[in-house]
Structure formats: structure tokens, C-alpha cells
Structure 1
Amino acid sequence: MRDLALIGFLTALLGLGLKRPFLFVLAYAYVDIVSPQRLSYYLLNSIPVSMIVAGLAFAGWLIADDKRHLKVTGRQWLMLVLLAYAGWTTLRADLYVEALSKWDWVWKAMAWAIFLPLTLRTRLRIEAYLLFMILSAAAIVIVGGIKTLLSGGGYGVLHLMVDNNSGLYEGSTIATVAIAIIPVILWLARFGTVYARDWRVRLFASALILACLLIPVGTEARTGLVCAGALAIFLLREAKNRIAYMAMIALAVVVAVPFLPQSFTGRMSTIQTYEADASASTRLAVWAWTWDYAKENPLGGGFEAYRQNSLRVKMVSSENVGVVELVDRSVVEDQGRAYHSSYFEMLGEQGFPGLILFLLIHGIGLIRMEVLRRRHRGAEGDQAWISPLATALQNGHLVYLVGSLFIGIAWQPFIYMLIAVQIGFDTYVSRRANEGTRRPWRKAPLAASPAV
């Protein structure tokens, strides 16, 4: 039944794409994020669904899309340079066979991110793609939220529809993404035009945000807790009454703590006692190893270069017994430990040139969203949505960058989709501003959405 439902939905979506080719682009977002081929037992998992849908999306754009305002931006060129550089490091990788396995999905994610902005030429398209991204991620988040409410979850035991612990189905990754999409959910609930903005939309958005907040609890991912704290700080910037906002956050934390599983609070407490936690201590050791490796190999070692590391980590733990403090010292050995940081992942695999390109792509995105946020702050009418969307995309991006400090998601396709939406949004607003010098912007009525 699951296979039939997945095939039926995907077939219907692709069938509609024959009339509106942009729907192929939306279908790819669903396929890439949810990965229905991984959920299928025997039908979709034998078909190259992602390649087929990507081909349809590109063909639909090439044949039927309006290309009068076609523009390739600086960030797209930077992503192309990074992709080419990653291809070069793959050819000379220290572990060539392992590197090819990662390259196989990295180039597809980057190629899509470079292509996607070319299709996002209207507000409706930008909003529709964001909506598909959020709802596709919600398919995973809602399952995780329900399981957390029913069972409390647990580190490494919260299964999110599939047993394969990779992509967005990996605990720390989905915890980061779940928190990162909250600002976009809030924007869609407030400014979305694909649907009528009534109590049903607000109710669903509230429930989805609750599910997003439950994901770090269910996965017991410390990264998720850090991201949630960072988002609370980022949202403070736009709060009308900051004192009331901080009081509400403090009250929510006080109310929530008694209901949290003991295993969750115990794991979160290791953030302060990292020297006694093997995971945190080896993570620091990997970072030190990567830095030394990069100094000897400044151009990087290619994908999966971390598999060469060999670590000896000194552990220190203490326990108070009466008035006496017992200190236990031990040494833990580990090999092939993953980077557990996107920045060290880029440094180790792509060297200093790759890390610089990575930082430029993300840094320019944050700056451009800040420019749009400030330029259109206080705008009314048909421009009222611009500054809030720039803020939402910027906050989501910042949450990802915070989470990236502690998990290796430098090439995560979801964030590159978000960057592509930023580029399309930036290009669209700039083009309309230039057109506005010749004619005023016109607001499309809600009941008659423009064609996609």
C-alpha cells in the first residue's frame, strides 16, 4: 500500500507537470528531500527517480520557460567553481574509491542548486518552492514529532520512516533542519498566497513548529538544542516587545523541562562536561587532526579523507563521594572518526581554497538578505512580504551555519536549495525594483494567482 500511495502521488504530480512544467521543479524538491525511493519496498527503489525528475525539470525549463530575464549571479558562478574544484580534488583524492561514492550525490546537489534560481522568476514560484521544501521536510518532522510524543525518542533509536541513518533521516541533521525551517514556516503562515490565510493555516503552522521543536528532544541531538537556542536569539532581533519575548521564552523553558525525558536532559548536560564525554572529546581531537592535516595538504585530501585519521583522546571524569572528589583519567583510541563539523569537513576535504569558497557562498547570502531586509523594512502593500522573507531566509541560514559547527553537513542538499531560493528571490526583487522605475508594481488578487 505504501508503494502504491507513493507512486500514485508522484505520478499525479508529474502528470500535472505536463501542463505546468514548473511542477517538475517542485517534484524534484519532494523527491530529493523525502526520498520516496528509499521508502518504497520494491517498486520505486529500482527506478532512478531523482534522475528522471531532474531531467524532466530541466527539459521543461528549456522548452517552455520564459528566459527573457535569465541571469546567472555571482553566487551561482562561485558554486560552479566550488563544484569544479571538488571534482578536481576527487580525481586526486587520497581515498579515490570512497571519494567517488560521495561525489556521486554531491555533484547532483550542487548542479541543482546552480540551476534552480533560473526557474524562480516570480513570487509565486519562489513561494511555491519554499512551500514544497517545508512540506517535504514536514513529512519527516511530523513523524518524528509524533513518535517523540508517544515514546520519548532516544539517541540513535528514533527511526524516521527509514532505517538508513543518512541524509535528512540522520538525527543531528534533521534536528538542525527542523529548527532552521521555523522562520520560513512563520513567514508562509503570515504572507503565503497559495492558500487562504485563515485559522486552519495558523493551526497547522503552530503544530508543525511544535513538531520541529520536538525533533531535538526525540533525536537527543545536542546540535538541535544549540540551534534552538541560537534561533531564539535571532528572533529577538525582530521582536516588537523584547522583554515580553524573553519572558515568554523563559516561561516556555521552565514549563517544558519537567516533561523532558531523563535521557535527554542527561545527554544535554554533557555539553558542559565535554572532557568526560567520548563523543565530544574525540570531536575536538578530530578538529585538531584536520588542522594539522590541512597544513600539510593545503589543497585538501578529497572526499572522505577523514578515514585516514588515528586518534588518542585523554578522558577526564570526576565524581564527588562525600567530601572527596574522585578523578578518573583514561585514554580512548579511535580511527576513521568523521569531522563532525562542516567547516573542518571542507578544510580537510577541499583544503583552504574550498573552505574560502564555502564561506564566500554562505557569507554573501547572509549579506544580501540583510541588504533586502533593511532596504524594504517598513514597506507596505505589495512589497510588505519582502523584508520578512529576507529575514526568515537569513535566520534559517544562520541556524544552519550554527548547526554546521558540530555536524558534517557542508554538502547537505537542503541548505543549497535554500541558498538557491535566496538567489532567485534576490534576483526577482532586484529586477522588479528596476522595473519599478518605469512602472509601479501591481498586486495580484489572492483569488487569481498568476500562472507558474
Structure 2
Amino acid sequence: MRDIVVLIFLTACIIAALKKPWWGALSLAIFSYLNPHAYAWGFVRSLPVYYVLFLVVTVSTIATRDKQPIPKDWRIPAFLFLWVYFIFTTTQAPLQDIAWTKFWFICKIFIPFYFTWVLINTREKLYYLISTIGASIGVVAVKGGIFAIVTAFGHRVYGPPNTQFEDNNLFAVAMLMAIPLLLVWEKELTKKWLKTGILLSVPIIYAASLSSWSRGALLTMIALTLILISNSKRKFMTIPIVIVGIIAVIPAMPEEWFGRMHTLETYEEDLSAMSRIEAWTDGWNYALSHPFTGAGFDGWIHVTMRDWHSSYIEMLAEHGFVAFGVWLSMVLGSVISLTSLIRQAKRIEGMDWVVHYSSMVSRLVKNSRLFSLTRGSRDFFALKSVIKSSFNG
């Protein structure tokens, strides 16, 4: 039955993409973030549904006139340069088969950005893209939140199979990142029942994030909550709701969860934390000895045999200082540009939507970076010791 549902949905997406290519861009977002075919039980799981949809969107995009030139933004050449640089680091990787396999997987993520650049060319289309991404992650997050509440937070919540955020830690940040996107969607809705549904989904998503048992997610959740409260126009309602939520959730959490969160303060005594710090040290030292190439994709297998648990160390150790600098400049540049855009839009009448979109997307970027710094959470407090020790040594 699930296979039939997925096939019907895929057919609808193909028809939509042929009718309006930008609908195809939204469809690709759904299959990228929600990954609905992974929930099938039969033959659909092995079908290349994403590639079929991608091919349809490609043909439809070539044929349509409803598109714009690639925007003139310095981050796009930087993005393309990083992609080319990945080819260089992959050719130099010690583990060629593993590195090339991951590189082609990354290409599947990079290439569809073209459709966003040329097809999403109006405010309406941008709104629907943001809403689609938020809803795609939100559906799975709400499902996980309901599971967490029913099981009294006794089990970990994981992301959609075969996606970038299948891991419980990665899914935790994806869920928290979806909240600002859902709030963009909610703000412009006119149907009260749907607005209410989205607002009610937020605490359920918080529950799912708590049930990821991720310490980094806990810190990111606190930061996100403070940001949302500070920017809320209804603080007199938001603050009491948050307080009531905390009071209600704390007694429901199992003792094992508190034990895991307690290691935030005692990372020196936690074997998991110390093994990650050792991996960070190995990654930093490898980057120093291979500053331009790194170890290539999934280089942790060659360098330290432990997952990096930090996107910063991962980028640096696997692709060197040049790639790390370009990547970091894109992240910081996006935050700075969004902040500047908010200030500019506030001075122009009728541009409130730009302020709202920019502020929410900015929070999304900041939260993702904060989570990267705090993955494994207490590891963050020891990051500077990794760099310091390398110089002292």
C-alpha cells in the first residue's frame, strides 16, 4: 500500500514539474528532506525515484521561459569554487573509493541548487520553497515528537532513512532549523486551523529534539528559545508557555536522560567526549601536515577511525585550509548579509516580509552553526585546547 501511495505522489510531482518547473523544484525539496520513498516497504525503496524526478525537472527547466539568470552574488562563485576544489581534494584522498562515493553523493545535493537559483524568482515562490522545506522536515519531526511523548522520552528519535540527517544528532538540528521556516509559513497563512496546527507543532518538535538525547541539541534548543522570545511580539504569552512547558517536561524525562545531559559539566570524565577531542586533535594535526588537500571525504576513516562530530573539523581535516576558509566565509557572509538586509528593509515601507524572512533564515543559519560547535556539546568547551596543544607540542 505504501509503495502505491509513493508512486501516486511521485507521478503527481512529475506532472506538476512538467506543468510548472518551479513546482518541480519544490518536489525535489520534498524528496530530499522528507525522503518519502524510504518509508515504502516494497519495490519502491530500490527505485531511483529522485533521479527520475531530477531528470524531469531538468528537461522542464531547459524548456521553460519562466526563469532568471543565475543571480550575481559572490557566494555562488564561492560555492562553485568549493565544488571544484572538492574534486581536487578527492583526487588526492588516501581512500579513493570511499572519497569518490561520498563526492558523487555530495553532487546530488549540489546540482539541484541550480533550479533554486533560476526558478525561484519571486516572493511567492520563495515563500512556498521555505514552507515546503519546513513542512517536509516538520512532518517527520511531529511524528517523532508524538512517539517521544507516548514513550515518555525513553527512546531516541532518528531522522528519515538514507538522508543527510538520519543520525539522531543531525536530525535534532534539522528539527530545530525547521522551526523558523515553519514560523515563516505560519505568519502569512489565512486559515486559522492551519496556523494553529503549525503553532501546536512547535512544542511537539521540541519534544522530538529532546528525545534525540543530543546534548548539542539541548544547548541549541535553549539558544533558539531565547532568540524566539526576544523577537516575539507576544512575550506576555510566549514566556509563560515556555515556563509551563519546562515544568511539564522535566518530571517526564527519564533518569538516564539527565545522566547524559549532566556530562555537559564533566566532559573530562566522559569517554565519548574525550575520544572526540582526540579525533579533533588528530584532524587538526592532519590538516597542518596536509594544508591544501586534507584527507578527502570521509577522511576520518584514514586519520583517526572516529567520526569528527564537528563540521568545522570535518571541513578542515578533509579538505584543508583553503576549502575551510571558503566554506566559513560563505557561512559568516550569509549571516552578515541577512543582518544587513534586515536593517535596509526596515527603512523601506512595505518590506516587512523581507525583514521576517531574513530574520528567520538568519536564525536558521546561526542555529545550525551553534549546533555544529556544540555537537557532543561539552566538546565545545575543549575546542581551544585542541589548537593550543598542537602549538605547545
Q: Could you tell me the TM-score, scaled by structure 1's length?
A: 0.77
Residue 24 of structure 1 pairs with residue 24 of structure 2? yes
- 1:191: which partner in 2? 188
- What displacement does 1:395 show? 0.3
Q: Does 1:108 align with 2:114?
A: no
CA contact (8 A) 2:168 2:212 kept: yes
Q: Tell whether 2:370 aligns with 1:402.
A: yes
Residue 359 of structure 2 is matched in structure 1 by 391
Using the TM superposition, give the Cα deviation of residue 367 of structure 1 relative to its aligned residue in structure 2, in angstroms: 1.2
Residue identity (%)? 24
* Paired position in structure 1 for 2:312: 343
Q: Does residue 1:357 correspond to 2:326, yes or no?
A: yes
Of 189, 193, 201, the residue aligned with 1:200 is 193
Residue 144 of structure 2 aligns with which residue?
144
The offset of 1:293, in angstroms, is 1.0
| Cα distance change on mapping 1:18 and 1:309 into 2, 3 Å | closer
* Match runs of 1:137-176 below 5 Å: 137-154=137-154, 157-158=156-157, 162=161, 167-176=164-173
Q: Give the direction of change, closer, same or farther, for the CA distance of 1:298–1:2 in structure 2 (3 Å limit).
A: same
The C-alpha deviation readout for 1:228-262, integer Å capped at 9, x for no partner, is 11212333542457798667645543343122232
Unpaired runs of 5+ in structure 1? 311-335, 409-452
**Change beyond 3 A, Cα 1:266–1:379:** farther
**Is the Cα–Cα contact under 8 Å of residues 378 and 384 in structure 1 kept in the other structure?**
no
1:72-130 Cα deviation digits (max 9, x unpaired): 42111111000110111111101111112211211221222344222110111101111
Q: 2:257 aligns with which of 257, 264, 268?
A: 264
* 2:300 corresponds to which of 270, 290, 306: 306
Change (3 A) 1:141 1:264: same
Q: Which has the larger share of strand? A: 1
Alignment of 1:9-408 (within 5 A): 9-67=9-67, 70-154=70-154, 157-158=156-157, 162=161, 167-192=164-189, 197-240=190-233, 249-250=242-243, 252-299=245-292, 300-310=294-304, 336-377=305-346, 380-381=349-350, 383-407=351-375
CA contact (8 A) 1:154 1:219 kept: no
Distance of 2:355 and 2:40 partners within structure 1: 41
Q: 1:136 to 1:245 in 2, by over 3 A?
A: closer
- Measure the CA separation in 1 of the matches of 2:333 and 2:30: 27
Deviation track 1:194-233 (CA, whole Å, cap 9, x = no partner) reads xxx2321222112221222012222111121111112123
d(CA) in 2 for partners of 1:177 and 1:237? 22
Q: Distance in 2 between matches of 1:203 and 1:245?
A: 15
Name the SS for the 2:295 alignment partner. Answer: coil
Structure 1 pair 379/202, CA: closer, same or farther in 2 (3 Å)? farther
What secondary structure sits across from 1:234 in the alignment? helix
Aligned partner of residue 168 in structure 1, secondary structure? coil
Structure number with the higher helix fraction is: 2
Gaps of 5+ in 2: 377-393
- Supply the distance in 2 between the matched residues of 1:352 and 1:237 (Cα, whole angstroms): 36
Between Structure 1 and Structure 2, how many residues are aligned? 375
Say which is worse superposed, 134-143 or 64-73, in terms of deviation: 64-73
Give, as a single letter, the amino acid of the residue that structure 1 aligns with 2:82.
L
Query: Contact (CA 8 Å) 1:22, 1:60: kept in 2 or not?
Result: no
SS in 2 for 1:376: helix
Aligned partners of 2:144 and 2:208 also within 8 Å: yes
8 Å contact from structure 1 (residues 29, 133) kept in 2: yes
Distance 1:114 1:359, change over 3 A: farther
Take 1:361 and 1:267, find their aligned partners in 2: how far apart are those partners? 34
RMSD between superposed Cα atoms in Å? 2.3
CA–CA separation in structure 2 for the residues paired with 1:351 and 1:159 = 31
8 A contact 1:339–1:407 mirrored in 2: no
- Offset, 1:350: 0.6
Query: What is the CA-CA distance between 1:40 and the residue it aligns to?
Result: 2.3
Q: Secondary structure at the match of 1:271?
A: coil
Note if contact 1:168-1:174 (Cα within 8 Å) is conserved in structure 2: yes
Counterpart CA distance in 2 for 1:129 and 1:146 is 26
* In structure 2, C-alpha distance between the alignment counterparts of 1:170 and 1:72, rounded to whole Å: 35
**What TM-score comes out, normalization by structure 2 length?**
0.88
Kindly provide the CA deviation profile for residues 399-447 of structure 1, in whole angstroms up to 9, marking residues without a partner as x. Answer: 0111112449xxxxxxxxxxxxxxxxxxxxxxxxxxxxxxxxxxxxxxx
Structure 1 residues 12 and 301: CA distance shift in structure 2, 3 A: same
Q: How does 1:404-419 map to 2 (within 5 A)?
A: 404-407=372-375
Please give the alpha-carbon distance, in whole angstroms, between the structure 2 residues aligned to 1:241 and 1:34.
32
Whole-angstrom distance in 1 between the partners of 2:22 and 2:68: 16
| C-alpha distance in structure 2 between counterparts of 1:256 and 1:378, whole Å | 42
Contact 2:130/2:184, CA 8 A, preserved across alignment? no
Q: Secondary structure at the match of 1:66?
A: coil
**In structure 2, distance between residues paired with 1:243 and 1:151:** 32
